[in-house]
Structure 1
């Protein structure tokens, strides 16, 4: 194949595609382009073995899709395993103490992690001094439920 007066083999072009995909992966870190680089290497090998262009493209697509489907979930899980929840994301599931009674259809105040929050408990009155579990955070209001004695 000749491009701008320079003759390239299909194998070299596939390796060029693999290089471009690797560079894109290094820039984006999205765990997407690297699998296509693997497919391009496979297509390059097919080209070196004398496979026609149609077969090279099929090899590229099959290897890319298989690598993407099989290894991306594993890689994402491994790289994102140590993500620590912070701030508001970490509050649901925590315990707090009611500082100001929470009426049935109104709001009270709960202390969670040393901070005071406005809190509601749909359909339940919760007395001051009760221990509660945070179920949800909506803006600056916690939805809580009273902790049962057997928990």
Structure 2
């Protein structure tokens, strides 16, 4: 393949990345760029394709998680996302099997469930919110801190 074909693929992949911002196709653009350089030096087509695949997968596997963490580090949690990690006071015994449980967070009453169905939490206990599912808070017991 000529370098122009690989560079055209780089352009298409970068355009797709710009439209989706999913941090997926950009890594393949990197692989295509390396293949374009190899093509410029008239490396065998099989080697070009192997370089494209290997470089793309290495970039995807090893740099994507870091890039996602970096991009999301400055993201301010809003609405219900900001509740994760906060404390809640149990107002009604939490029992997933009986479908009971209420808690108060920031002055508002929420339906609450535990992570595990067999776990219950008594009224008055303080729990930590681990996630939000629809209009229910999923909580876990706080671990006792040893002084």
TM-score, scaled relative to structure 2: 0.68
Quote the offset at 1:118 in angstroms: 4.7
Q: How many residues align?
A: 139
Corresponding position: 1:115 with 2:111: no
Corresponding position: 1:132 with 2:92: no
Q: What is the correspondence of 1:78-97 to structure 2 with a 5 Å cutoff?
A: 78-91=70-83, 93-97=85-89
Gaps of 5+ in 1: 1-8
Structure 2 distance, partners of 1:87, 1:118, is 16
User: Deviations for 1:21-78, whole angstroms, at most 9, x for unmatched residues?
Assistant: 1111111111111111111111111111111211211121121112112211111110
Quote the offset at 1:133 in angstroms: 2.2
Quote the offset at 1:13 in angstroms: 0.9
Structure 2 distance, partners of 1:64, 1:144, is 40
**Which aligned runs of 4 or more in structure 1 are off by greater than 2 angstroms?**
82-98, 100-111, 116-126, 130-151
Structure 2 distance, partners of 1:125, 1:48, is 70
The structure with the larger Rg is 1
Quote the offset at 1:119 in angstroms: 5.5
1:70 to 62, 82, 88: 62
Quote the offset at 1:95 in angstroms: 3.3
Quote the offset at 1:145 in angstroms: 7.8
Corresponding position: 1:21 with 2:8: no
1:53 to 45, 49, 56: 45
